Structure 1
Amino acid sequence: MPHSANAYAAFDKTTPLGPTTITRRDPGPTDVQIDIQYCGVCHSDLHTARSEWPGTVYPCVPGHEILGTVRAVGDAVTKFKVGDTAAVGCLVDSCRTCESCKAGLEQYCDVFGFVMTYNSPDKHLPGQMTYGGYSTSITVTEDFVLKVPANLDPAAAAPLLCAGITTYSPLRHWGAGPGKKVGIVGLGGLGHMGVKFSRAFGAETVLFTTSASKVEDGKRLGAHQVVISKDPEAMQQHMRSFDLIINTVAASHDLDPFVNLLKRDGTMVLVGAPEHAHPSPSVMGMIFGRRSIAGSLIGGLPETQEMLDFCGKHDIVCDIELIKAQQINEAYERMLKSDVKYRFVIDISSMK
């Protein structure tokens, strides 16, 4: 039988989020029911809640950086037991049979696309959309639940489920490591994790920011150098020197200044999803260096678990500001001003 959970939801694209009650399924044979303790606040939540991306169905309960305690498990569950710490990221199901899913790349599911943690049709509760982590409980099939190393602070680990894996995945895929020079564009929720991971991988790590006030913080987080991207002379010093650049900026901007920093065969990977398209990059800047612009989307379940284990080994978590659920609308406004270092996390106990 379904059960109810407290939640915070958007009811339309302009009204502030507010408290509500939602329906969750009780665990089936392969399900894990989690009492949510913490949920990170991603910029995607804001985009979706305000219909800045198409397809929002209201009421919408955002949240896909979820960490909590296992309350119940189905009879066939083998990886989790009651009392375990568990996490859920951006996806809660996929077709599981296509080439991408079989490769552990469920985020690129070729059949119907993955089932998002929120704002996807819920096949378990027909007629309802999936609801995310701004809630007291969630039930997810075991294969899409992740283990969290015990040494990590749980509140600060929650945003690893999106901000963490979104930067970890391209750094791993494009081979960041010793002997490589890696640039991270933007110092926000994603960018600060990109700096931490790039440094932990052993790469020469350079942060690009438009804000001089972030120079010292960038170095504290692990950047070997911090470059003010609006300074042409500072940019000129790094021309044709980067193996890889991870661009985390979620606002439309000119990509050419960063393309020109790439070595021959270098790649800039876009992980920020702007509301409006970037201006078209110069073809000349790409063909004269055989450079590439690529994209990357979160990570599959095996790589996300690998990332969490890596964080446990290297003691890496997000820099967070813990808030109550009742502060979510203020948090959204502050996010628009980049007034957070570097991720809001909701203390879900405030909903009880």
Structure 2
Amino acid sequence: MRATIMTVHAHPDDEASKGSGTIAKYAALGARAVLVTCTGGEAGDVINPTVTDEIAAIGMAAVREAELEASCQALGYESLHMLGYHDSGMPGTEVNARPDNFANADLDEATGRLVRIIRAERPQVLVTYSDRHDFYPHPDHIKTNQVAMAAVAAAADADRYPDAGLPHEISKVYYVEFSIQMILLLHRAFLERNVPSPFSEFLERIPGLADLEVDGIDAPPTNGLTTRINIGGFLAQRRASLAAHRSQIPDDSFFLTVPDELVAEVYPYEDYLRAQSVVAVSVDERGWETDVFSGIDGLVWEPTAGLEALVEAFTSMDPEIEQSS
């Protein structure tokens, strides 16, 4: 069976800001990348005024769908599924009370929609959000975790949703994470170069966070993280994916103002927590898992990228030397 990775995200642009380099890398290696976006992002604010006229002409939902399609093309996604719910907005807003929004959706019904997609696409690896939402408790992100994890379990059970296709067991599930180590190392790299850090405002929200001691990139996993993927050769694809979301990510966003060269030097990784696995996994000498497909046998890879991208993908695969269950 072809190597297949599925990501389940809440809104258009989440696929760009969370784990996009990982997708670009595995797509180059020949995996099939599948995206499920739970809402249309209709409640998003117009962050970039240059697209105001376009939104007025065709509507926010249409603009964000076009942006999403461009982002998927930049990363190498082969399949895009919209789960079909309205953006829930934030608590206390008018849109948050809509009966058709994702946060208010019946869990069983939403789970069934995702089960049907999982059974059709049959991924070995699924990536979504954790159940920790301290920094950004968006209702749609919370619901995404609930629906994704319920669907992973239900998709493997022949007695659940029997009309939604043949059962399928996903081998490994990951939560995409923003590592405080990454943020602090990049923040301090800016300060060392006497350049204003785009992370300063974020770090000022939590007293003492900017002064927290963190280990370098050669340290073992901390804070519950288990897995990190070297994406140093795929930062351009990640940047293109982010830039596709013009309505949500202005040119001066920290997502676009952090130079790729600095990221490649200081922290060329995307971090994950392995939530569950039915296979043994491999870790390197520091304890990091460096391949989300590790331990899964019998996969077929169908590279479509050029030779240069393939060489970059393979050379950025960290060695794994130790087996653990």
Provide the TM-score with structure 2 as the length reference: 0.31
**What TM-score does the superposition give when structure 1 sets the normalisation length?**
0.29
User: Higher strand share goes to which structure?
Assistant: 1
Structure in which a larger fraction of residues adopt helix: 2
